[in-house]
Amino acid sequence: MSDEHLPEPAAAEAAAPGAEVRARRTGMFGVRGSGDTSGFGGLRRDVVFPAPAERPFGGWYDAVVDTLEAAVPGGVAQVVVHRGELTLHVHREHLAAAARALRDEPDLRFEVCASVSGVHHPDETGAELHVAYHLLSMTHNRRVRVEVTCPDADPHVPSVVATYPTADWHERETWDFFGIVFDGHPALTRILMPDDWPGHPQRKDYPLGGIGVEYKGGTIPPPDQRRSYT
């Protein structure tokens, strides 16, 4: 069945009030015109971003936001509470200070950075690249997500390795796959792809096929010619 004969996607009635529908996808992975006979061509899905939360946020969320805003004035861009999770959207110029406050403030004490991951939203003009940090407080048994954005034309975000050393390889992976530059990282090099690999494979504008076998003829340089971190 061709796309033109499929019904129009329903509006996002189920979305929370104020939620923003960023895109509407059809079929599996948004593919069109593939001659798919599996039935996936009839899928319709709204890409919905939850709305910013309003006070009171509930539980311990208000205290965490208050403490962070007092420690880093102007650092928090917005707060989102969705599906029982707290996300703090932070301006990227305040990220380093916010990370230190989240780790060191006695009422916060998010001592562990469990992961750093990138997201590419090519249709979000001026904020095409997102970085999400998942933090864990061993002291208070709490989790929080911190998110920052940067434009594709200026893909720079401050590194948090000085505060969270465990972010080292995570930031390298995010650079490798998304092309986000972490300023201040001690050795921002590829971690999975070869050093000379063109592009960043998890971006949505990266080609899905038709790429030559780039490992063919690969060589290992002698030890004195390999990259060094010293």
Top-confidence residue, 200 or 217 = 200
| C-beta neighbour count of 196 within 10 angstroms | 8
Q: How many CA atoms lie within 13 A of 114 on its CB side?
A: 11
Give tens-digit pLDDT for 72-125: 999 999 999 999 999 999 999 999 999 999 999 999 999 999 999 999 999 899
Top CATH class, 61-183: alpha beta
Q: Span 147-153, mean pLDDT? A: 97
Q: Where are the domains of the chain?
A: 61-183
pTM of the predicted protein model: 0.79
pLDDT of 165 reads 97
**And the tokens for 14?**
């189920």
* Strand pairing category for 142-150 and 85-90: parallel
Q: What is the pLDDT of residue 24?
A: 77
- Work out the mean pLDDT of the chain and round it to a whole number: 84
Per-residue pLDDT at 229 exceeds 60: no
